[in-house]
Amino acid sequence: MKARQLRPALAGLASVPVTLLGLVLVTFLIGRAMPIDPVIAIVGDHATPDVIARVRLQLGLDDPLWEQFFIYLRNLLHGDLGNSVMTSHPVTADIAHFFPATLELATAAIIVAVLIGIPLGVFAAAWQGSRFDHVVRVISLTGQSVPVFVLGLLCLLVFYVKLGIAPGTGQLDVAYEGMVPRVTGMLVIDAMLADDWDSVWDALAHLAQPALVLAYFSMAYITRMTRAFMIESLAGEYVITARAKGLSAARVLWRHAFGNIAVRLITVLALAYASLLEGAVITETVFSWPGIGLYLNVSLLNADMNAVLGATLVIGMVYLVLNLLADVAYHLLDPRVR
């Protein structure tokens, strides 16, 4: 492959440091602009003015804003996000502990969303204007209109409280807590590695509701984009030619029409996956899922600014990296872009 074909992808890679610097700057300024005093969060409301002044001086909050930013950037380059007031642990250690649970939840959700959303979008486009198409469009519109927390609370009310066929909140039942050794941090995988199948089924049962709620939100977006791409693809001359050759409807639909949009869907799926990692904040709060979203929410309520800034920065970086990887893959796999 010639170097000029990779030039757009390399340009995207070159923009990463600038984008990361902008992300760090915005995150830092938001933390300083929020009406929460980190000193009060550390020493408490009843601390004396002398103690407050001493802690403020130790944290460097009396320094000019530009100097505070460079100190923050220097610490960040050394992997230091500060200590969490809430847990008394380094924020990097907390993120490493909580992020795998979010990754497990978002990965389960995107798998379900892809397996359902893409076929729905393909068949809705193939049968455009039919009753099936109208139903799919209503389902997609509802999925993008109903707030995630409302859907999560309804699921708990119906399946847990009323019907009693689903477990409650959390990642594992109390009876199984502490029985699965932590290896990857993703409970289902760790339970499989430990050959503890009772814990596996219990973890899957707890994973089902939050994963399906997130999957519905993502599936709506994937379905709409797939349908739009397929309608455009089915109107192409190559599809008309394939039909004129007498190829089967399934071959025309999946080999020629869908094959032409598969690369474009990479960007859609990457953005959907990143949105799941970002949108898990609300879902994890509703279902008490011990991931980075719940950690971020609890930290914000406790005015733990180091934890809030660290978690926000990590989520932003994940979104940026996934978007970049999708862009690179798009340039590498689609010859029309090259």
Share of the chain above pLDDT 90, in %: 17
Q: In whole angstroms, how large is the CA radius of gyration of the chain?
A: 24
Provide the mean pLDDT of the chain: 82
pLDDT above 60 for 3? no
Would you state the pLDDT for residue 1?
47
Beta bridge partners of 90: 83
Question: Confidence band (pLDDT; 50, 70, 90) for 286?
Answer: confident
Would you state the pLDDT for residue 115?
94
Phi, psi of 180 (to 5 degrees): -105, 115
Mean pLDDT of the region 270-299: 84
Q: Which fold has domain 92-333?
A: MetI-like fold (1.10.3720)
Q: Could you report the per-residue pLDDT of 92-144, keeping only the tens digit for each? A: 999 998 999 999 999 999 999 999 999 999 999 989 889 999 999 999 988 88
pLDDT above 60 for 9? no
> What tokens appear for 62 in the block?
């009396």
Would you state the pLDDT for residue 132?
93
Q: Under a CB-based contact definition with an 8 Å cutoff, are residues 277 and 108 in contact? A: no
What are the sequence ranges of the domains in the chain?
23-80, 92-333
Mean pLDDT of the region 165-193: 84
Mean pLDDT of the region 310-335: 78
> What tokens appear for 72 in the block?
């923050």
Would you state the pLDDT for residue 118?
93
Would you state the pLDDT for residue 279?
64
DSSP 80-147: ---B-TTTSSBHHHHHHHHHHHHHHHHHHHHHHHHHHHHHHHHHHHHTTTSHHHHHHHHHHHHHHHS-
Q: Which of 139, 207, 140 is nearest to 171 (CA)?
A: 207
pLDDT above 80 for 86? no
Would you state the pLDDT for residue 204?
92
